[in-house]
Amino acid sequence: MIKGVNKIVLAYSGGLDTSVILKWLQEKYQCEVVTFTADLGQREEIESARAKAQAAGVKEIFIEDLRQDFVENYVFPMFRANTVYEGEYLLGTSIARPLIAKKLVEIAHQTKSDTISHGATGKGNDQVRFELGAYAVDPEIKIIAPWREWDLLSREKLLNYADNHGIPVEMKHKSGGSPYSMDANLLHISYEGRHLEDPKNAPEESMWRWSVSPQKAPNEGEEIIIEFNNGDPVKLNEKTLPGHVLLDQLNIIGGKHGIGRLDLVENRFVGMKSRGCYETPGGSILLKAHRSIEALTLDRELAHLKDELMPRYAKLIYNGFWWSPEREALQQLINFSQINVRGWVKLRLYKGNIEVLGRDSDVSLFDEKIATFEDDAGAYDQYDATGFIKLNALRLRIAKKYRKN
In the chain the domains, ranked by start, together with CATH numbers, are: 7-77+87-179 (3.40.50.620), 184-360 (3.90.1260.10), 370-404 (no CATH)
- Catalytic annotation present for 17: yes
Residues 128-155: what's their mean pLDDT?
95
Distances, alpha carbon 176 to alpha carbons 155, 171, 173, 353, 383, in Å = 11, 10, 5, 37, 75
DSSP string over 340-354: T--EEEEEEEETTEE
Residues 240-252: what's their mean pLDDT?
98
Q: 325-337 and 300-318 helices cross at what angle (nearest 10)?
A: 150
- Catalytic annotation present for 13: no
Compute the distance between CA of residue 124 and CA of residue 121 in angstroms, rounded to an integer.
Answer: 6
Q: Where does the pLDDT of residue 194 fall: very low under 50, low under 70, confident under 90, or very high at 90 and above?
A: confident
- Percentage with pLDDT > 90 across the chain: 85
Residues 6+ apart with CB under 8 A from 385: none
Compute the distance between CA of residue 323 and CA of residue 325 in angstroms, rounded to an integer.
Answer: 7
State yes or no: pLDDT of 175 exceeds 60: no
- Catalytic annotation present for 364: no
DSSP string over 183-213: EE-SS-EEEESGGGGSTTSPPPGGG--S---
Paired residues of 68 in beta bridges:
none
- What pLDDT is attached to residue 377? 87
Compute the distance between CA of residue 162 and CA of residue 149 in angstroms, rounded to an integer.
Answer: 18
Chain centroid to Cα 297, Å, comes to 25
- What pLDDT is attached to residue 169? 74
Q: Decide: pTM greater than 0.85.
A: yes
The answer for 24, left when phi > 0, alpha when psi is -120 to 50, beta otherwise, is alpha
Q: Where does the pLDDT of residue 172 fall: very low under 50, low under 70, confident under 90, or very high at 90 and above?
A: very low
- Catalytic annotation present for 324: no
Question: Range with the lowest mean pLDDT among 94-98, 172-176, 233-237?
Answer: 172-176
Please name the amino acid found at residue 342: R
- What pLDDT is attached to residue 179? 67
What is the SS3 string spanning 257-323?
A: CCCCEEEEEEECCCCCEEEEEEECHHHHHHHHHHHHHHHHHCCHHHHHHHHHHHHHHHHHHHCCCCC
- What pLDDT is attached to residue 1? 84
Classify burial at 179, counting beta carbons within 10 Å of its beta carbon; exposed 0-12, middle 13-18, buried 19 or more: middle
Give the gyration radius of the chain's Cα atoms.
25
- What pLDDT is attached to residue 45? 78
Q: Give tens-digit pLDDT for 323-379.
A: 999 999 999 999 999 999 999 999 999 999 999 999 999 999 999 888 888 888 888
- What pLDDT is attached to residue 229? 98
Q: Among 19, 126, 155, 275, which one carries the catalytic annotation? A: 126
- Percentage with pLDDT > 70 across the chain: 97
Distances, alpha carbon 48 to alpha carbons 53, 62, 100, in Å = 9, 12, 19
Q: Give tens-digit pLDDT for 26-67.
A: 999 999 999 999 999 998 878 889 999 999 999 999 999 999
- What pLDDT is attached to residue 181? 84
Compute the distance between CA of residue 85 and CA of residue 190 in angstroms, rounded to an integer.
Answer: 15
- What pLDDT is attached to residue 170? 66
Q: Among 13, 181, 284, 292, which one carries the catalytic annotation? A: 181
The answer for 69, left when phi > 0, alpha when psi is -120 to 50, beta otherwise, is alpha
The closest alpha carbon to 186, from 12, 286, 39, belongs to 39
Q: Among 80, 97, 194, 327, which one carries the catalytic annotation? A: 97
State yes or no: pLDDT of 171 exceeds 60: no
Compute the distance between CA of residue 165 and CA of residue 159 in angstroms, rounded to an integer.
Answer: 10
